[in-house]
Amino acid sequence: MEQTEYMLCAKGMTKSFGITRALKGVELYLKKGEVLGLIGENGSGKSTLTSIIAGIQPADSGEVTLCGEAYSVKNSVEANQKGICMILQEKATFDQLSVAHNIFIGNETAFQKGGILDNERMYQEAEKILAELGVDGINPRDKIRDRSFEDGKLVELARAAFLKPRILIVDETTTALSQNGRAILYAMMEKIKKNGGGVIFISHDIQEMMEKCDRLTVLRDGDYVDTIDKPEFSEGKIKKLMVGREIADNYYRGDHVCSYEKEVVLRFEKVTTKHLKEVSLELHKGEILGFGGLADSGMHDIGKASFGAIPILEGQVADKSGEPISNPRESMQKRIAYIGKNRDQESLFPNSPIRDNIAIASYKKLAKSTFIAPGKETAFVQEWAEKLDVKMQNIDQYVMELSGGNKQKVALAKWLGFGADIFVLDCPTRGIDIGVKASIYRLMEELKAEGKSIILISEELPEVIGMSDRIVILKDGSVSGEFERSELLTEHTLINYMV
Amino acid sequence: MKKNVWNVIRLLGMPVILYGIFCLLAKGFGLHSLPVVISQSMIPTMMGLGLYQVMNADLMDLSMGARTMFAAIIGGLLAQNGGVAGLIAGCFLGGFLVSVVMAVLYRYLRIPAMVISLGIILIFEVAGAKMVGSSGYLRIAPEEYFIASYPLNVVIVAAAAAFAYFLNYRTRIGTYITAVGNDEKMCKNVGINPERVKFQAITLMGIFCSLAALLYICYSGSITAATEMASMSMVFRPIMCVILGRYMRKYLDCMPLLIFIGGLSITIIFNGFIAMGFSEAIQDIVLGVFLIAILGSDAVMGSFHSKKAAAKA
């Protein structure tokens, strides 16, 4: 194929972080009027490659051309000026600024007269952009700190829409969006495509990629693997290209039996929190208890309340002996572990090494009187990092340098090493590739077999159905349905109880 | 709009109530003393407006007192021959000079702002002391005092507050300072250079530093050079003004006005206790308790309201 039919060509792209080679001569070709999917496991180099194209970081070497001309940018503003815009996986809005100021940040010149910003005109223009996108209920005057995470993502979309990009890069954004938010994003992608632009789309949801993309470029461990056209799309083939080995279609539990012991290990007694209303339920020994619901249904409060991380306004969460749990310290004494949905803020210290992150919950065990034996600590961390197969340079590597999946493995290693009996996992596979996902599911099965109990909170219904012994659906803070594991249970059935 | 007016009234209620309490408790504290109290709150308010620029950019600067004193000394020296014009020019020259020095050091040495500010205190306190000579203090002519007299001092602070408002809410640099204080990494992703913005924030602080110097030297008619980091004590009241302002921001997003309300409330408490004959140590304790009580009451009330809301639901 002649390279001139491509609007963006990236060849021989390399990038290293210390001794880690994130990109090893990767290539990417984007045609006019197409959505190109970029897929690969965590740490395969997708975000690194696209952030280089978007001007966020420089490449070590490689050549990029845009519409046949050499393309080189020093920062994202230059990339925006050349028509390339990126929506990042992480939060990219400023809490203290208004919605309108967030939309136009870096591009305020159009609203400036004699050095003074015309805020009113900014608000009007923001309102117009939001309306054109189909976003309702966001006041441009509101501060971002008063809006939800999803609203923040929609504001980022509006920011991109204002820039009218020729090429839009969407990096793992859909997991943060509701169905409505996703529809807005897809419509925006379609519009760019129709206008002869291009979209580079990154997601771990293979179904979504197959549905939305015209071609798929697969990366693995910083290497280019292959690019396949839509007619060649099949889940099996994509998974095989991503992982480099066959992955079973169904990587959830193979059995369809609801199995657990009689002993109750955790009990919710009419628990009321900010988002929960008199919720009563029981978690049994050896049980995986799944929770599903809409984002604001209160299901995330279940996790936090189980760990004593939020105030319980009425009722109580009690352990097997009936003793209430009111704070994380007590929870840890009762061998309860919690991995939050937002792992960088709730479960990890990204600016600390893997060593500290894994050992932190187990210092009591590692310490001899007040001193921690360095040798014992190293052996402990090494053992759990290896058991969880964390891809790292060494245990002194900073967690912030790891991919999403490896960060999650570090969070799990911390609690496994601690020796928890109850695992509260809130969206444990969020933003994680299928390889790591499969390994987390296997780990959950092993824990269940050992008699450990798991609370699984997830926004992905197939995951809840595939892994749980019992499923509790929450709606507006109350239990709207409870189901036992069954082959006949479908997403459709659960959705009826969610909305 | 109506809500904002109601919130302004509510917020102004704090100094009004405090003043009312001290009028009842302290002899000699009444309406007649109001201009004095307002005048005394002008310097911490002006310094608070300056400190807010750097605190908003997530920097901590303890050198504002030293910078203000140094600027006042330069102003005082130039006033000896240049009169009012020399005084004003000197304060601005000194304020800008020190602020630019600090901004340059911060940008190019890449040392934390607090560390640089400590160095600046040591250097400029000594420099100021050398400039005033062996007497250790500097006087200005009485005809120059009018700059800090009531109500001109209020007009100057009001003008500075209006300027701060426009700077923070109606200019690009103000937006960028807030953005940098929020998240530097994100700023880079949208093409903002955080280092340049911080440089600008520290430099802009020089304007308020200069004006504070002008008010300072004209209010007392003289300035005594500070040594051994004594100038640091000047920073604590303005920092409290900014902290109180930030706390009140949820009711009204207008930091210059909130800093003034904070400054006025703190000054009322200090003057009230002086009028009641309390020692300086007691004044400090009560002020600390006041700050903790105001900020702590918010957490308690928040928890009470959420419990009440849950009970209702």
pLDDT digits (tens, 9 = 90+) for A316-333: 999 999 999 989 999 999
Chain B residues touching residue A314 (CB < 8 angstroms): 310-311
In this structure, are A190 and A280 located in the same domain? no
Q: Which domain holds residue A365?
A: 264-498
d(C-alpha B77, C-alpha B274), whole Å = 33
The pLDDT assigned to A169 comes to 96
* A385 within some domain: yes
Rounded percentage of chain A residues whose pLDDT exceeds 70: 97
* A257 within some domain: no
Distance of CA A319 to the CA centre of its chain: 30
Residues making up chain A, counted from first to last? 499
d(C-alpha A87, C-alpha B136), whole Å = 60
Tell me whether residues B310 and A106 touch, CB distance under 8 A. Answer: no
Tell me whether residues B188 and A56 touch, CB distance under 8 A. Answer: yes
Residue type at B156? Answer: I
The pLDDT assigned to A16 comes to 87
Instruction: Identify the band that residue A2 occupies on the pLDDT scale cut at 50, 70 and 90.
Output: very low
What is the residue-wise DSSP string for A49-91?
HHHHHTTSS--SEEEEEETTEE---SSHHHHHHTTEEEE-SS-
Instruction: Give the C-alpha distances (Å, rounded to integers) separating B133 from A479, B64, B66, B137, B216.
Output: 79, 22, 17, 8, 20
Distance from CA of B190 to the nearest CA of A (A): 6
In this structure, are A319 and A200 located in the same domain? no
Instruction: Identify the band that residue B1 occupies on the pLDDT scale cut at 50, 70 and 90.
Output: low
The answer to whether the beta carbons of residues A36 and A233 sit under 8 Å apart is no
Residue A137 has pLDDT above 60, yes or no: yes
Tell me which of A189, A208, A243 is where a domain ends.
Answer: A243
The pLDDT assigned to B274 comes to 86
Instruction: Identify the band that residue B303 occupies on the pLDDT scale cut at 50, 70 and 90.
Output: low
B178 touches chain A (CB under 8 A): yes
What H or E segment, with its residue span, contains residue B307? helix B280-312
* A478 within some domain: yes
A400 touches chain B (CB under 8 A): no
Chain A residues touching residue B172 (CB < 8 angstroms): 108-109, 112, 117
Residue B309 has pLDDT above 60, yes or no: no
Tell me whether residues A108 and B189 touch, CB distance under 8 A. Answer: no
CB nearest to B306's CB, from A117, A119, A274: A274
Q: What is the pLDDT of residues B136-182, one digit of tens each?
A: 889 999 999 999 998 999 999 999 999 999 999 999 999 999 999 99
Q: Which residue in B189, B200, B255, B308 has the most chain A C-beta atoms within 10 A of its own C-beta, making it the best mutation to test that interface?
A: B189
Residue A91 maps to which CATH number?
3.40.50.300
* A143 within some domain: yes
Chain B residues touching residue A105 (CB < 8 angstroms): 175, 179, 190, 192
Distance from CA of A249 to the nearest CA of B (A): 38
Which residue has tokens 């604590």?
B236
Which neighbouring-strand residues pair with A26?
A: A13
Tell me whether residues A92 and B190 touch, CB distance under 8 A. Answer: yes
The pLDDT assigned to A325 comes to 92
The pLDDT assigned to B268 comes to 92
CB nearest to A313's CB, from B175, B186, B307: B307
Q: What is the pLDDT of residues A441-498, one digit of tens each?
A: 999 999 999 999 999 999 888 889 999 999 999 988 999 999 999 988 888 888 888 7
In this structure, are A229 and A297 located in the same domain? no
Instruction: Give the C-alpha distances (Å, rounded to integers) separating A135 from A126, A129, A150, A185, A231.
Output: 11, 9, 11, 10, 34
User: What average pLDDT does this structure show over A86-114?
Assistant: 89
CB nearest to B175's CB, from A56, A108, A109: A108
The answer to whether the beta carbons of residues A407 and A358 sit under 8 Å apart is no
The pLDDT assigned to A249 comes to 55
- Name the nearest CA neighbour of B212 among B129, B76, B95: B95
A56 touches chain B (CB under 8 A): yes
Mean pLDDT over each residue of chain A, to the nearest integer:
90
Cβ neighbours of B277 (radius 10 Å)? 9
Residue type at B16? Answer: V
The DSSP bridge pattern shows strands A371-372 and A367-368 to be antiparallel
* A401 within some domain: yes
Which neighbouring-strand residues pair with A16?
A: A21
ipTM of the complex model: 0.81
* A311 within some domain: yes
Which neighbouring-strand residues pair with A478?
A: A475
d(C-alpha A102, C-alpha B84), whole Å = 45
Q: Which chain B residue has the Cα nearest residue A310? A: B303
Instruction: Give the C-alpha distances (Å, rounded to integers) separating B187 from A269, A327, B93.
Output: 46, 36, 32
Q: Which residue in A313, A344, A345, A478 has the most chain B C-beta atoms within 10 A of its own C-beta, making it the best mutation to test that interface?
A: A313
Chain A residues touching residue B183 (CB < 8 angstroms): 94
Q: Which chain B residue has the Cα nearest residue A93? A: B186
B residues 180..199 contacting A (CB < 8 A): 181-183, 186, 188-192
The answer to whether the beta carbons of residues A169 and A84 sit under 8 Å apart is yes
Phi/psi class of residue A469: alpha, beta or left (left: φ > 0; alpha: ψ in -120 to 50)?
alpha
CB nearest to B192's CB, from A78, A106, A311: A106
B280 touches chain A (CB under 8 A): no
The answer to whether the beta carbons of residues A75 and A58 sit under 8 Å apart is no
Which residue has tokens 């996986």?
A89
CB nearest to A56's CB, from B189, B192, B313: B189
d(C-alpha B242, C-alpha B258), whole Å = 8
Tell me whether residues B178 and A94 touch, CB distance under 8 A. Answer: yes
Q: What is the pLDDT of residues A190-241, one digit of tens each?
A: 999 999 999 999 988 888 999 999 999 999 888 999 999 999 999 889 988 8
Tell me whether residues A75 and B191 touch, CB distance under 8 A. Answer: yes
Chain B residues touching residue A84 (CB < 8 angstroms): none
Domain count across chain A? 2
Residue A402 has pLDDT above 70, yes or no: yes
A274 touches chain B (CB under 8 A): yes
CB nearest to B189's CB, from A88, A96, A109: A88
Q: Which residue in A47, A82, A94, A102 has the most chain B C-beta atoms within 10 A of its own C-beta, making it the best mutation to test that interface?
A: A94
The pLDDT assigned to A20 comes to 67
Instruction: Give the C-alpha distances (Å, rounded to integers) separating A283 from A261, A280, A323, A471.
Output: 10, 10, 15, 11
The pLDDT assigned to B57 comes to 93
Q: How far apart are the first and last CA of chain A?
A: 49
Rounded percentage of chain B residues whose pLDDT exceeds 90: 61
Non-local (6+) Cβ contacts of B282 within 8 A are B273
The pLDDT assigned to A1 comes to 46
CATH 1.10.20 fits domain B2-277: no
Tell me whether residues B179 and A94 touch, CB distance under 8 A. Answer: yes
A142 touches chain B (CB under 8 A): no
B204 touches chain A (CB under 8 A): no
Residue B241 has pLDDT above 60, yes or no: yes
Tell me whether residues B172 and A88 touch, CB distance under 8 A. Answer: no
Phi, psi (rounded to 5 degrees) for A224: -75, 130
* Count of CB pairs separated by less than 8 Å, A with B: 68
d(C-alpha A462, C-alpha A206), whole Å = 13
Chain B residues touching residue A143 (CB < 8 angstroms): 253
- Is residue A251 classed exposed, middle or buried when 0-12, 13-18 and 19+ CB atoms within 10 A define those classes? middle
Residue A17 has pLDDT above 80, yes or no: no
Instruction: Identify the band that residue B233 occupies on the pLDDT scale cut at 50, 70 and 90.
Output: confident
- Is residue A84 classed exposed, middle or buried when 0-12, 13-18 and 19+ CB atoms within 10 A define those classes? buried
In this structure, are A58 and A111 located in the same domain? yes
Tell me whether residues B310 and A112 touch, CB distance under 8 A. Answer: no
* Sign, Cα dihedral of A305, A311, A312, A313: negative
Q: What is the 3-state secondary structure (H, E, C) of A302-322?
A: HHHHHCCCCCCCEEEEEECCC
Q: Among the listed ranges A12-21, A105-114, A220-229, which one has the minimum average pLDDT value? A: A12-21
